[in-house]
Amino acid sequence: MREKAASLTNVKMEQGTVTSLIEEKGSIKGVQYRTKAGEELKAYAPLTIVCDGCFSNLRRSLCNPEVDVPSCFVGLVLKNCQLPHANHGHVVLADPSPILFYPISSNEIRCLVDVPGQKVPSIANGEMARYLKTVVAPQIPPELHNAFISAIDKGNVKTMPNRSMPASPYPTPGALLMGDAFNMRHPLTGGGMTVALSDIVVLRDLLKPLHNLNDAAALCKYLEAFYTLRKPVASTINTLAGALYKVFCASPDQARKEMREACFDYLSLGGTFSNGPIALLSGLNPRPLSLVLHFFAVAVYGVGRLLLPFPSPRRMWIGARLISGASGIIFPIIKAEGVRQMFFPATVPAYYRGPPN
């Protein structure tokens, strides 16, 4: 992507480490950065796109970064083995949380083991290897077991915190946040790049009619439309990622167990029951209402399985708790995303902002 951008005649690419934003009278004028040679330089621009990733040290002055770390991924690369279903991603509903497998080359498979909480077993003292061999290995498909153990023994194990952060921007003249610096969701569904690329398309369409970006205040007011126009795709993928992660995590609660099994079996029905969620997951269906309908369809499906063929007071009670638990999972995520922008974007004044003269 960098090579493609650099090939354009009106693009000049410079590489360095940005250390700070240049701010004057509440407006961002550019960045200060350090080259590989250690030289401190400044670059000025009418609009600065801040996209320095999940560990962003620039976002704090541009948004309210309420970062949650629900879990960590432990990553390994399995070599010379075959997935149960070739050329497909796999989600193993393990205890305590999901394990992901997906091919990254003709003979390599990426394995991501989700470990709940912000701390993982130590790699240095061997706790991680023991955890992977005793807790995780017995739960993975037998086709992958030997390669999994071999990858652990080779010691090339990496960890990464999984971060979630709703988009809470401060509209700032001269700057705009993008990517993981702006908005994050649990990476279980791999939706980060989908959201980022969708955001780029929205921003491109907003900037296309402009010929002059130098009126920072007018441009900032106009670009407030970006935060509303991006919501259908972004909020759908964000909500789905957060909800699926909570559903897929193991729980001693019988109602949560029923919801987890109902979700898996609902997707296994095929047709609309799998195509619908996949369209939401991939950003092809950017309708938050469709997500809510499918989510509660899973819950109702789970209740139906409990009550048939013969309902009992205990099963009815579990069914009621299943519906209550489903509401407790999805509604807080929707609230964090913003109900009005998510479901009624056309009622937000910024939705109708026109380009400045």
| Residues 71-125: tens digit of each pLDDT | 999 999 999 999 999 989 999 999 999 999 999 999 999 999 999 998 999 999 9
Give pLDDT tens digits for 306-319.
998 889 999 999 99
- What local confidence, expressed as pLDDT, does residue 357 receive? 77
Mean per-residue pLDDT, 261-284: 94
- What local confidence, expressed as pLDDT, does residue 356 receive? 87
> Is pLDDT above 90 for 145?
yes
Give pLDDT tens digits for 201-250.
999 999 999 989 999 999 999 999 999 999 999 999 999 999 999 999 99
DSSP secondary structure letters along 76-101: EEEES---SSTTS-EEE--SSS-EEE
Q: How far apart are CA 31 and CA 19, in angstroms?
A: 8
Q: Please measure the distance between the N-terminal and C-terminal CA atoms of the chain and give it in whole angstroms.
A: 32
Of 218, 197, 246, whose CA–CA distance to 98 is shortest? 246
- What local confidence, expressed as pLDDT, does residue 8 receive? 94
pLDDT interval class at 146 (50, 70, 90): very high
Q: How far apart are CA 235 and CA 36, in angstroms?
A: 38
Q: What CA–CA distances, in Å, run from 119 to 67, 137, 161, 249? A: 16, 20, 9, 17
Burial 64-95 (b: 16+ CB within 10 A, else e): ebeeeebbbbbbbbbeebebeeeeeebbbbbe
Are the CB atoms for 73 and 160 separated by under 8 Å? yes
The residue whose two tokens read 């499918």 is 294
- What local confidence, expressed as pLDDT, does residue 63 receive? 94
Judged by phi (left if over 0) then psi (alpha if -120 to 50, else beta), residue 85 lies in: beta
Mean per-residue pLDDT, 159-178: 94
- Whether this prediction's pTM lies above 0.85 is answered by yes
Residues with Cβ within 8 Å of residue 45, at least 6 apart in sequence = 29, 30
The mean predicted confidence, pLDDT, of the chain is 94
pLDDT interval class at 178 (50, 70, 90): very high
Phi, psi for 72 (deg, rounded to 5): -130, 150
